[in-house]
Amino acid sequence: MNEYIEHLLEIIREAKLKTPHTFGYNCADTCCEVDQNNNLKFAEEFLQAKAQKLSSIIGIEKYNFPKVEKLNDHHLVQIVQELEELLEHYNFEFIFPEDVTLKMKYNFMIDHWEKKQVYSPYGMVQIETCKFEEDNCPFPGYCNICKDFDQKLGSEHYSCHTKADFSDLQLPQSDEEYQALRADIDQIKELFKNPLNDNFISGIHNYCDGRCQKCGFTDRCSSYVINKELDLLDGADKKSSEQKIMGLMMATSEIVQEEMQKRGIELDAAIEDISEQHYLPKSKQFVQLYAESYAQKLKHWLESNQMEIESRLIVEDRGVFNECIETITWFHLFIPAKINRALSIISCEEVDEFEQYDSNGSAKAALVAIDETIKAWQGVLFVLNHKEDTILKLLTHLSKLQEEVKNVFPEAEGFKRPGLDD
């Protein structure tokens, strides 16, 4: 067997030497630089290319690979390492879960050796290893997407009532810096107390989707106007923005403390109360973890289809597909964040009327985001119909999440977001 393994390794190494000339997509190396026209050309070539069997592209037939049972650990290490290097030479990459065993890697690669793929000389082509089938996972016990959700569900999962940690905050080091920060704090406090516009819609920014560039109410949104006044919108200088954000945090803190003093509330006692961990019942914990699970699945899907998605984004050039992908990526973290906020509000033992209102508002924002995401996925499915199996599973996940949010927050769907639903 040792002799055969050496022969197989030699076949793999010879295949590496026959690799067509390739260079990285959008490579930073000056000898590989490509302009925008070439990017478009490469993207079109990739999307129009005919899929071929991996064995045909690389030039090694599947029958050359022995069954995993015939390989000892040493042979397995050698072959898997050589195979991964060979695939990299041909710009192919299997997206395996972290810490998956060599046997699983080998079996999966050989099982897919006859599957058709599109070769690109201009960048890495990802090969999907996960179909989001929890009951038929090729990597049982190693797929974090499924494992994390199953392990967390039923454990002591609590809401996000935690103390703010400003230990890494870089405070001013000189009197000049401090005076500049103090000026920002005073400006922000003045904006809070004396708004620039008397026509603001109260609370509109609390339950919106955060996409100011698509909103028709920016001139009536105090959050947008303040950010604009402080030059914190897109394109702002990073260093200046960091100082403004620090000023915003400190101004907010001062305003809260001043208001608490007026009402005779002890600051330490209030912080201790809101920092107490409130554990969620399993029914509510499920919806939170299920939202986080969707975000993990989407991240994996994007990584597994990166080359095709980037190529289509270039070819579409701000078309419908681009808008759909933008919507999907924008909301994938927004949804669990809003659900988490809604749950954290109602996780306390006593919830007053305003807190219930606020919780329903956050849940409504999550429902709107889920609805927009589902519509965006339908647009992506129209273009990437060959990815139907994984896209439909993601849509099924979202539909179930939507149903669970409605069950946990029965009044959320009827919530009227200030301005946006009026």
pLDDT bracket for residue 19 (50, 70, 90): confident
What's the pLDDT tens digit per position in 269-317?
A: 666 655 555 566 666 788 999 999 999 999 999 999 999 999 999 998 7
d(CA 107, CA 297): 23
d(CA 179, CA 188): 14
Residue 162 pLDDT: 45
| Percent of all residues in the chain with a pLDDT value above 70, rounded to a whole number | 83
φ, ψ dihedrals at 53, nearest 5°: -65, 140
| Location of structure tokens 């949010």 | 405
Domain 279-408 carries which CATH code?
1.20.1440
Is there a contact between 191 and 248 (Cβ–Cβ < 8 Å)? no
305 closest CA partner among 38, 122, 93, 80:
93
232 closest CA partner among 249, 217, 216, 220:
249
Amino acid in position 411: E
Residue 112 CA to its chain's centroid (Å):
28
374 closest CA partner among 396, 407, 389, 390:
396
* Domain layout of the chain by residue ranges: 2-127, 175-274, 279-408
Q: How many CA atoms does the CB half-sphere of 409 hold within 13 Å?
A: 33
Is there a contact between 389 and 131 (Cβ–Cβ < 8 Å)? yes
Look at 422 and 129; give whichever has higher pLDDT: 129
φ, ψ dihedrals at 141, nearest 5°: 90, -5
Dihedral sign (CA 15, 16, 22, 25) = positive
Encoding tokens for residue 299? Answer: 């991240």
- Reported pTM: 0.82
What's the pLDDT tens digit per position in 343-352?
A: 988 876 677 8
DSSP lists the bridge partners of residue 94 as 127
